[in-house]
Amino acid sequence: MALKGRDLIGIAETGSGKTLAYLLPAFVHVAAQPRLAYRDGPIVLVLAPTRELAVQIQEEALKFGSHANIRSTCIYGGAPKGPQIRDLQRGVEIIIATPGRLIDMLGAQHMNLKRVTYLVLDEADRMLDMGFEPQIRKDCISDRQTLYWSATWPREVEALARHFLRDPYKVIIGSQDLKANQSINQVVEVMMDLEKYNRLIKLLKEEMDGSRILIFMETKKGCDQVTRQLRMDGWEALSIHGDKNQAERDWVLAEFKSGRSPYNDRY
């Protein structure tokens, strides 16, 4: 459907392999366009809500695009602007971007969107409040193909899609309703703030069997505080949040994925 040049709405669970569903048609689209001239902007723009997702998409774009001699780059906050600006100045057919850094680069005139004829919003349901909408409306040409990908389809995303898409195909894998993942057992406990840490420790002792555990916190400060306390109490803990630089975020994710025990190894 994407190869027909039509706008597309794809609703599928996170991790379902949708990245290539928009990247492979993007490569075909680029190959059909006139080559980039000096100072031309990208032909394909992929917007993602987080640095980690943007980098993940870029890895796939490099893996498959290199065989077609299609250049791509990833621009995101938390990393130095210099190398990203150099990529933009050399010219790339595909840009994968987070909204904040994209707006920075456009504002500083390091790039433009005048040649974007293929626009992808990945995890559109998570980007509603990220401020990219006016910039896309102003800078992207109206005669473009737009693809929306989302794990859910709330009314707010549907309203946004009506402004961006024209007569789109709509593909639903599973259900478009927001519902709990049936493979996850959810237990809700209501307690006072002062009780939470002791309850967390008790849960860790009950559940820790050598596997990996994710703990989500409401604030960055709380994230750092709980990480420090867990380390003091002998638990191997690392933290990740928006105030950490990209190198540290990448390292923490790699350690977590590998299942190593970096805290004990290093200290």
Q: Looking at the domain assignment, is residue 8 inside a domain?
A: yes
Q: Are residues 198 and 164 in the same domain?
A: no
Q: Are residues 150 and 55 in the same domain?
A: yes
Q: Are residues 232 and 153 in the same domain?
A: no
Highest mean pLDDT among 35-39, 130-134, 150-154: 35-39
Q: Looking at the domain assignment, is residue 187 inside a domain?
A: no
Q: Are residues 121 and 167 in the same domain?
A: yes
Residues 6+ apart with CB under 8 A from 170: 8, 9, 11
Q: Which of 113, 141, 172 is the last residue of a domain?
A: 172
Percent of the chain with pLDDT over 90: 41
Residue 267 clears pLDDT 60, i.e. is over it:
no
Say how far apart CA 126 and CA 49 lie, in whole Å: 6
Q: Are residues 21 and 109 in the same domain?
A: yes
Given this model, what pLDDT does residue 12 score?
81
Number of domains in the chain: 2
State residue 11 phi and psi, 5-degree precision.
Answer: -115, 115
Q: Are residues 159 and 197 in the same domain?
A: no
Q: What is the CATH number of the domain that holds 227?
A: 3.40.50.300
User: What is the identity of the amino acid at 251?
Assistant: W
Mean pLDDT of 102-121: 90
Say how far apart CA 5 and CA 119 lie, in whole Å: 11
Mean pLDDT of 159-182: 76
Q: What is the pLDDT of residues 63-90, one digit of tens each?
A: 888 888 899 999 998 888 999 999 999 9
Say how far apart CA 51 and CA 244 lie, in whole Å: 12
Q: What is the pLDDT of residues 200-240, one digit of tens each?
A: 999 999 888 878 899 999 999 999 999 999 999 989 899 98
Residue 264 clears pLDDT 80, i.e. is over it:
no
Report which DSSP code applies to 34: P
Q: Are residues 38 and 142 in the same domain?
A: yes
Given this model, what pLDDT does residue 50 score?
87
145-154, 156-165, 222-231, range with the lowest pLDDT: 156-165
Q: Which of 172, 207, 237 is the last residue of a domain?
A: 172
Residue 82 CB-half CA count within 13 A: 1
Q: Say if residue 193 is exposed, middle or buried (CB neighbours under 10 Å; 0-12, 13-18, 19+).
A: exposed
Q: Looking at the domain assignment, is residue 181 inside a domain?
A: no
Q: Which of 123, 138, 172 is the last residue of a domain?
A: 172
Residue 168 confidence class, pLDDT cut points 50, 70, 90: very high
Per the structure, the complete domain to which residue 227 belongs is given by 193-266
